[in-house]
Amino acid sequence: MANFVKVASTSDLKPGAAMTVEVAGKTIALFNVAGKIHATDNTCLHQGGPLGEGILEGEIVTCPWHQWEYNVCTGEKVGASALKLTTYPVEVDGTDIKVAV
């Protein structure tokens, strides 16, 4: 069974926003897609750019370093679905955002 850890509050992550959190020694990017929270590795597969600092448009985040794009719901790189970020289970408990790693 997954152990969910509180990483943020819903007030910290407005719809259309991204942020970075640390949990269990990992840096995780959180994304709010129309009120649903998603979590992926924060590190772009290209050259390690910080995805939590990227631009989120709908379900797609663009890495701020070299514009690689990922679907934050699936972790798949846009145009190359064989490349995939690790995604993490998320639960929202009241106003608490919890991630299992």
Q: Which of 2, 8, 3 is nearest to 28 (CA)?
A: 8
pLDDT at position 1: 59
Q: Could you say which architecture CATH assigns to the domain 4-100?
A: 3-layer Sandwich (2.102)
2: pLDDT strictly greater than 90:
no
Dist CA 60 CA 3 (whole Å): 27
pLDDT tens column, 19-78: 999 998 999 999 999 999 999 999 999 999 999 999 999 999 999 999 999 999 999 999
Dist CA 99 CA 12 (whole Å): 15
